[in-house]
Structure 1
């Protein structure tokens, strides 16, 4: 949930005093083998569709809209709607129907008229959302409470639905006020759809409807790199996907496919971004490397390696299969006997562990393939990356990745306003019935080490202990909070109890609206790849924010 204290004035919001919103129903669909379909029909109520994961399409009155993960979409009564979403993961897709009543319709304007005004007249297409993660958390809570048998709990689901509407109205008005983010994101999507074509800054600036100089400045501010650098990186990433999944393509054809007619230039750019020449990348991609421990996944991904096998219980197992367009990953079962047999069937060239396996298990693993046993208790995530890279003879790749990470972190740190970096920050995780305090030896190192933010005085005690109580949190002078809520039922209920407590509401960060929530599933591991993901989240969280 994101709380805002910026005042956004609009005469349209005055109509909210006379409007009532009622959630009729909400459905939730998730799972890697699941597809969500909405048959073609004329809708009689308002519709909200939040695609937390997956991809697909939506047709509104015959107009085709490409759905994307994190997208929030609205439908109005009387429209002809049809949709399909696939490639889902555990975050899924939420579909809601709701009614709107307007007490002043007799004066000429209907509820439909006002809704279109509140949503910036976007009757077809995506509704602006500043934080898809926050929207996902709210949708999750709405669905959770509407299933309850207790009428009071279902009523609380209606309250959370009002919160979702507030977030939607606010984000739309804020985007209209700033008029910056939407055009730049539109150009980014345009680049990703047309990366194989010859694109110029002048053409992209026209798409953004601004001058080339202004466009380049805003793009770098938004994404931490120039449009040309982003396009190059995206093209090479697409080339890697192609080369990883099909080794029969000629290099000249791969270069042409991703937008490079000059093979020599493509080779140079490929090595610059990947750290190794294309031929070495193809050779490496033929190796089969298994990740026995979950943290090994984030290390291997930074080294441009898709594990041939990884724990099925870890959310990344499906995340990287979707993200990297490969079906060559063996999800390892939880039972040791079963997953050892799975590894024997896969016949990996190498196995990566994290120093937590017993001597007996290590011996069994060594009988299958050479094992890199990462000394998990020593060093930071950078040293872990270098350790595995050295074992796999991919140190060049690791150093290029680290250099790019440091450059990106420096750009983002410089973009953050001074008062944000000077705020005392705590990174909390709601796990079970506990409030855990994340410190520098966790994903929170992005903030405390790379962004050079500081925690409140005395926070080191709680870093060492790992947990904090609400009373202890009240004693700390917390000016900004980043919260990560666990996916399990107990964690979600603990968060509900925490956010309703008087101690929580009295926290300075909460009162000033400086509290943000992040999705827990893929951001918690202390690895190279999760740190890069968190850098991207920082820009979404705090760019142009108070």
Structure 2
């Protein structure tokens, strides 16, 4: 057994978007039954042996390389089916969790397969080591590592899904076309023609892969290009930048910029990109 870590969560730590509550590693995980659930979110990563998770009225096998996510306060139970059942575990909380898990498609507790479980285990080992240091602002340091861990977990779970990986690969010609042509007007027909599908199907692919419509993606690419121009040539007028990145009017450029960035282009430039 590896000694688990339970870092002190201060009042300021609990205000962070993400914060660590406990972390550890059982070389042979025992049977655990929680009729009232657990107060924090959890991720348990199986490294050897086979176990079983019961949650939400469903029982699932947990094989090596798989992990399972548990929502806070949800009744659950898990147990080994073979010995030893080695498991890394981490518990965490924070206001960011619901939206982050929703984006990952992991709103429900259950078992998930990963495209690269070793990288997730490395994250967990790094967080565990940090949690034992007792260094100043430990909560913030663990929060930063936890955020990186969860982002990586999200990507490894999503990319392991055959449909997600296939869609991402299929859309690469469209993404490249957008990057090369966002300085001019583009139609949904041009984009769908890059991969020989209908505009309606292209919209489905973008929504399932990026959670946005194709032209929303185009506008985000244009805004990114506009920020690059502000940085590299501070003397450029905003109306000239709007034209260079494919907007037909400065007012529409400003409207889209504010919607995406939360500030106007003038304000963004004033943050330090003006001469």
* TM-score for the superposition, normalised by structure 2: 0.47
- The structure with the larger Rg is 1
* TM-score for the superposition, normalised by structure 1: 0.25
Query: Structure with the greater relative contact order (CA < 8 A, sep ≥ 6): 1 or 2?
Result: 2
